[in-house]
Structure 1
């Protein structure tokens, strides 16, 4: 006499296996998410540290005299014909000297277009071993210096206190804006090296509000799509260009007031 096989045990075992598989998959997904969060936080911290390191170099008293020379970071931009231009260079780990004019580039306006044909192209960061800011080749920082837009400065904010520059026969105080843009190219979605290079060399790092408003006023209802796109690209900063690509980016902006003091 044959007994009917109910198969209850097999069903229970299958349900247990399904439950174990589901729990395992959820655990793996949770671990992956946590790892991504940790990696992103570490990348952000490293980018902040590298931007800080670049800006600290500007505050070294022993280098101020050299930086004010005609071929220095600030001295080069003091000339009237260089007003509004950005002096750009890549902060490299292997360089023994923080700034070298022979390895710098210049960005300026040609009408409403951005032009980068001043000096050489060695100042623009590239996804290449020699352009990274750390020996581990994880982050890179591009630095830009320009004379600050005085229309946006607070009245008398940068002037020597209690001193008449003309009477004292000293150079008037000058404001400079420094932008340090750091990226972590290996984190985030895949982006071509050429796209990152285009952001670094074809856009201004900082655009004064007055210039941005002037560009915007060029757009009218009759403007062609090509004209609108040209203005849009002109207004796009390096930082925003990289962000639009999905490249992890950190930007720090500092303003320095350089002035002569009279000692008795």
Structure 2
């Protein structure tokens, strides 16, 4: 009888040890998954930031500046008074030999009635997360970066004549200084559960908008799509010292 009691006590101890090992193992696996998710998110964010930086580097490349200021260039096409507030959009595609080409750009803006217009130049400028064409920054098809360029009017409270050309006489026709904002939105559709159709719908929204109904950032956030937005402001003009 005593022997059976000892066997029963041993069995209980073994079961308790197995239960403790199972709990410890489960906690260890859960902690590992959390650490893996943190590492993955950190790597994804770093990769998206690098792609946004690469796009901005091309915008600031001095060898591209003259071409960008041409009538059909990245800045030249959008800098007229009639285009103030509109966004010139294009996808930074690694397979393209040119950083910007007007034939691969789109124009998006809100008209006077508050309706979003995104087809004035066609739809070739918007990145597409699905399909067979490569709209990604590399052949790895991990990150896509969409760039938008828009000129803005002077902000309220600006100093008088701060945008005037300095150091020239009146006989030299020069462009006045103008402020331009460049948004580079990088995202990773492959680690998102959102459909390609929904992601592509977000990419046909405004980068420079505080209205959630028309904002790329708000749309991607609602879909839980990993993304980063790099915003840079420049002052373009001519100056002689």
What is the TM-score normalised by the length of structure 2?
0.90
- Structure 1 runs (4+) greater than 6 angstroms displaced: none
Change in CA separation of 1:153 and 1:28 when aligned onto 2, cut-off 3 Å: farther
Q: Partners in 2 of 1:73 and 1:124 — Cα distance?
A: 15
| Match of residue 134, structure 1, among 133, 138, 153 | 138
Runs of 5+ unmatched residues, structure 1: 213-230
> Is 1:243 paired with 2:221?
yes
Say how many residue pairs are matched: 235
Change in CA separation of 1:151 and 1:79 when aligned onto 2, cut-off 3 Å: same
Q: Which residue of 2 aligns with 1:43?
A: 44
Q: Which residue of 1 aligns with 2:184?
A: 180
Change in CA separation of 1:52 and 1:158 when aligned onto 2, cut-off 3 Å: farther
Q: Which residue of 2 aligns with 1:220?
A: none
> Is 1:193 paired with 2:193?
no
What's the Cα RMSD here?
2.0
- 1:132 and 1:140 in contact (8 A); partners too: yes
Change in CA separation of 1:204 and 1:121 when aligned onto 2, cut-off 3 Å: same
Shift of 1:136: 1.3
Runs of 5+ unmatched residues, structure 2: none
Q: Partners in 2 of 1:169 and 1:176 — Cα distance?
A: 21
Which structure dedicates a bigger proportion of its chain to helix? 1
- 1:77 and 1:85 in contact (8 A); partners too: yes
Alignment map for 1:28-107 (pairs within 5 Å) = 28-107=29-108
Q: Partners in 2 of 1:121 and 1:31 — Cα distance?
A: 44
Shift of 1:34: 0.2
Q: Partners in 1 of 2:104 and 2:162 — Cα distance?
A: 33
Indicate the SS of the match to 1:151.
coil
